[in-house]
Structure 1
Amino acid sequence: MNNNSLLADSVVDSAAVESASPAVGRSQWSTRLAFILAATGSAVGLGNIWKFPYITGENGGGAFVLLYLGCIALIGIPLLMAEILIGRRGKHSPPYAMKALAAEAGVSSRWQLVGWVGVITGFMLLSFYLVVAGWAVAYIFNAGSGAFTGASGDEIGGMFGALIGDPWVTTLWGTLVLAITAAIVIKGVKRGLERAVGIMMPGLLLILLLLVGYAMTTGQFARGFEFMFSPDFSKLTGTSVLVALGHAFFSLSLAGGGMMTYGSYLPKRVSLGKTVMTIGLLDTLVALIAGLAIFPIVFANGLEPGAGPGLIFVTLPLAFGQMPLGQWVGVLFFVMLSFAALTSAISLLEPAVSWLTEKRGFSRLKAGVLTSAGIWLLSLGSVFSFNIWAEHKLFGKNFFEVLDYLTSGWIMPLSGLAMAIFTGWIMSRAATHDEVGDGPGYRSWRFLVRYIVPVGILAIFLNAIGVLG
């Protein structure tokens, strides 16, 4: 097929999308930078700053980092392109974007289920994400009060246990996070999302750089750098590959509805390929810089880099309590972590609010309040998982762990697989070409999303359900 026939077909396809479900008065990002900041904020969350450092520590450092970068390039970025492409071409909230593109492709409208899954996934994710985000906000005040200064590991572990063991305190902090998130989303794309990420993302990056500057004074920066960037491939295992694959998928905030919704606000004039590459690069850069900030501090205090999930809420506070200026470094760190959590939280709430305003004609205020109320009620199950319901298990997992397992183990990988198949095999080449543009970048993306991405996601799914690993 030559470029002229591709262009002709794309005009027909675009007309099909518009006639299937016109997007009247849909908001758009003011600038390409606004979208990049919002999408990067969605991707840069607790996973980059909390999870990436400890899984790097658990899997040997530098070799794992290289493996992770390869997975981002081959799996994460192509799927991110696919999800944003669907949103921009569909010009609607996820269910109706998928419905419009299914009509364009001449296939069953049941493909809109993929969009519905995105909205529901964002709802479920936010219900337990805000609980963890609440811990981060609480720790700003713990650090500022000097609670970590001179405290032993047992004492700091006891502080964390006391926090999650008190349902009322945990609910209070989670409710604060949800209220801030809802207030931002209710104001809309330009007055809410753009302004919020325009403050929080530069703030996050500035604090991160300040923390790296501090890490350089610990005397262990060279060791931290070597740990992250000097590969020892003997430390890699088959499990390391699966962990890298999984984190590459989840660190870019894929298959949660947010990127598709954000894509629906993206003007046609913006280069999709360059923009997605920038988002992937910034997201990865934040994870790497977070490691450079954290590992020297950990090494300087004789602690273990592979401390697991407790690295952020137990190991690092122990370090902050022992080092010069640790009180203020701790405050900065948890402010940064809270910013990362909030920029991701707004992208999880936006798909449901977008759908309610589009389908039901609700104002953003009404949609935001109703959606937040439902998320708050569901979040109580995650709060109670660590106290009131701690003894209640389903297949050995508490409520929090069940939600995490369902979303990250089943729903998101299967949704991501469906999006890869839809953009790679169901949408016409003319339609995807019209969005991505011509050149080797398009051909590389199409090959990856058709052949490599599905295999990678299938491996993530099989690992999550226990077939691999």
Structure 2
Amino acid sequence: MSEQWSSKLGFILASAGAAIGLGALWRFPYLTGDNGGGAFFLLFILFTLLIGLPLLISEFIIGRGSKREAVSAYERLSKTGAWKWIGRFGVVGCFLLLTFYAVIGGWMLTYVVLSFSGSILEPNGDYEALFGSVIGNPIISILGLALFVFLNVVVLSFGIKNGIERANKYLMPLLFLFLLIIIIRGVTIEGAMEGVRFFLVPDFSKITAAGTLEALGHSFFSLAVGFSCMVTYSSYLGNNQSLPSSAGFISGMNILVSFLAGLAVFPVVFAFGLEPGYGPGLLFVVLPTVFEQMPLGSFFLILFLLLFFFATITSSFSLLEIIISAFTQNKNYRRVNVAAISGIIVILAGIPAALSENLLNDTLLFGKNIFDLTDFIVSNLMLPLGCLFIALFVGYKMNKKTIFAQYELASGSLGKSAHLWFGLIRTLVPIVIVFVFAMQFIM
């Protein structure tokens, strides 16, 4: 291995950054709002601990056990058969995910620029029209996409220690700081406690079968498992770190950030009498409406948008890194060249998604535009299949001695937790994933 994390903290922050992205800060609040609040949050915690955490430990074990990036890892550990294609499947999934994820990142960048120029908030502003004008402008959409990918390329060109690790050491603490500032401001507004109750007091009468499936699916979506990103990250890890402890800490941080995101969003939404179940437009349409009515609203809007941007870009690092590492780890290709070429390809491939809300708005495949279709293929088809492949690989194909040797490194002994985890990854996890995958087509 040519590169390793310089510290345990560096690995933890980078892995947390990969997991704590749009899933925790954008997707989680609107899913929670759509599905009744507190009961959805409780189900999400349960499924994160029983489904997401075992999968995260599995990816860590594959990565450090092979000391290879995602593509080579499965080849080294399986030797024969079709298992080696899991890594390639993950690279393709990350690439497709980046093609529309970077488009959202471009929207975020556009909103950050607009917020600093003071062009967003105005009395009785039509924020739905503003959002429509941003995503409906092909030049803005493509420039935003290109700039977002360029920033990723710049950071990743510096490598693991000087690129990903250094960026996350600054961005992750800022993310928590901004969240806390916004929460303190939000809960002090009159009427905010109604939003706190909505988010934290479970009302199981509001939970539906569809909502339960959403909580199940989001549990592994939010931890960045399924596409072997964490296989690549853990391949840079030394033997002095406990994988179960690291996975537990990252899962805990993900739940904590989801909790903080809920406290940042729902108190202000309820305080101003807005609709918590607005959907994906919650960030771009509802929240500017809130900040417009708050003292120092422009300042807090800038903080909120920077917060979302930090989360978005730290998560995208892992998506591009799995592609870059496939061509640089244990090979002679220069990282900066591979990063630049990969970035250009992602930009070109992302242009159709960037044009889906404007020039290609009428181009539909299976009733969906290119952006929505790519999102559906990645999130509803490839991601659960990737999780299933990883669970079956660790549970039934990978050498048990290697598995338990990696599990107990830096912890001294296996204990009951190892056998509990292995039992979950062999039984409950694949059963639940198959159930989630099947039910989305039945319901």
Does 2:88 align with 1:112?
A: no
Query: Quick check: 2:194–2:271 contact (8 Å CA) kept in 1?
Result: no
Shift of the alpha carbon at 1:458? 1.1
Cα separation, 1, equivalents of 2:5 and 2:362: 47
* Equivalent position to 1:289, from 260, 270, 295: 260
Residue 176 of structure 1, CA deviation? 1.1
Give the 3 Å change call, closer, same or farther, for CA 136–151 of structure 1 in structure 2: farther
| Structure 1 residues 403-430: Cα deviation after superposition (integer angstroms, max 9, x where no partner) | 1111111111111101001111112322
Q: Secondary structure at the match of 1:313?
A: coil
1:123 aligned partner, one-letter code: F
Gaps of 5+ in 2: 409-413
1:304 corresponds to 2:275: yes
Q: In structure 2, how many angstroms separate the alpha carbons of the residues matched to 1:352 and 1:148?
A: 36
- Aligned residue pair count: 438
Closer, same or farther in 2 for the Cα pair 1:446/1:196, shift >3 Å?
A: same
Match of 1:29 in 2: 5
1:216-295 superposed matches below 5 A? 216-295=187-266
For the 8 Å contact 2:187–2:268, the answer to whether it is kept is no
* C-alpha distance in structure 1 between counterparts of 2:373 and 2:306, whole Å: 29
2:55 equivalent to 1:79 = yes
Contact kept, 8 Å, 1:381 with 1:399, in 2: the verdict is: yes
Q: Is the 8 Å Cα contact of residues 195 and 271 (structure 2) preserved in structure 1?
A: no
Match of residue 139, structure 1, among 94, 111, 127: 111
8 A Cα contact 1:114 1:415, kept in partner: yes
Work out whether 1:214 is the aligned partner of 2:190: no
CA contact (8 A) 1:242 1:459 kept: no
Q: Which moved more, 1:443-452 or 1:352-361?
A: 352-361
AA at the equivalent of 1:131: V
Aligned counterpart for 1:445 among listed residues 408, 421, 440: 421
**Would you say 1:47 and 2:23 are equivalent positions?**
yes
Match of 1:455 in 2: 431
1:130 aligns with 2:130: no
1:436 Cα deviation from its structure 2 partner: 0.9
**1:115-152 Cα deviation digits (max 9, x unpaired):** 01111111111111011011112112222333343443
CA distance in 2, matches of 1:279, 1:427: 24
| TM-score of the pair, normalised by structure 2 | 0.96
* Cα distance in 1, alignment partners of residues 142 and 367 from structure 2: 24
Aligned partner letter, 1:28: Q
Rounded Cα–Cα distance in structure 1 between residues aligned with 2:246 and 2:43: 23
CA contact under 8 A between 1:90 and 1:100: conserved in structure 2?
yes
2-structure distance, mates of 1:302, 1:146: 25
Structure 2 counterparts to residues 178-193 of structure 1, below 5 A:
178-193=149-164
1:259-285 Cα offsets, whole Å, 9 max, x none, are 110010111110011110000000111
The residue type equivalent to 1:79 in the other structure is: L
Residue 172 of structure 1 corresponds to: 143
Aligned equivalent of 1:152, options 110, 121, 124: 124
The counterpart of 1:376, out of the listed 343, 347, 351, is 347
Give distance in 1, aligned partners of 2:436 and 2:339.
33
- Distance in 2 between residues matched to 1:323 and 1:302, nearest whole Å: 13
Q: Deviations over 1:364-403 (max 9, x none)?
A: 0111011111101011010111111110100101111111
**Separation in structure 2 between the aligned mates of residue 271 and residue 130 of structure 1, nearest angstrom:** 33
State how 1:373-452 maps to structure 2 within 5 Å: 373-437=344-408, 438-452=414-428
Alignment of 1:96-107 (within 5 A): 96-103=72-79
Equivalent-residue separation in structure 2 for 1:386 and 1:429 (angstroms): 49
Structure 2 equivalent of residue 10 of structure 1: none
Amino acid paired to 2:327:
L
Q: Which residue of 2 aligns with 1:326?
A: 297
- The answer as to whether partners of 2:87 and 2:227 remain within 8 angstroms in 1 is no
Q: Is 1:163 the equivalent of 2:163?
A: no
CA distance in 1, matches of 2:271, 2:114: 22
Aligned residue type for 1:217: T
Q: Corresponding residue for 1:9?
A: none
Question: Over the residues paired in the alignment, what is the CA RMSD in angstroms?
Answer: 1.3
Is the CA contact 2:227–2:387 (under 8 Å) kept in the aligned structure 1?
A: no
CA–CA distance in 1 between the matches of 2:110 and 2:349?
21
Q: Which deviations, in whole Å up to 9, do the C-alpha atoms of 1:278-308 show, x marking residues without a partner? A: 0000011101101101111111111011110
Matched, 1:57 2:29: no
Structure 1 unaligned residues grouped into runs of 5+: 1-24
1:317/1:330 contact within 8 Å kept: yes
Q: Alpha carbons of 1:358 and 1:109: their partners in 2 closer, same or farther (altered >3 Å)?
A: farther
Structure 2 partner of 1:66: 42
Between the aligned partners of 1:93 and 1:132, the Cα distance in structure 2 is: 27
Counterpart residue identity of residue 435, structure 2: A
Aligned-pair identity in percent equals 39
- 8 A Cα contact 2:103 2:141, kept in partner: yes
Alpha-carbon distance in structure 2 between the residues aligned to 1:46 and 1:290 = 11
Give secondary structure in 1 for the equivalent of 2:278. Answer: coil
Equivalent-residue separation in structure 1 for 2:166 and 2:16 (angstroms): 14
User: Separation in 1 of the partners of 2:391 and 2:232?
Assistant: 17
* Paired position in structure 2 for 1:365: 336
TM-score by length of 1: 0.91
Give the whole-Å Cα distance in 2 for the aligned partners of 1:248 and 1:364.
33
Cα distance in 2 between the residues matched to 1:148 and 1:366? 38
- CA–CA distance in structure 2, aligned partners of residues 143 and 320 of structure 1: 11
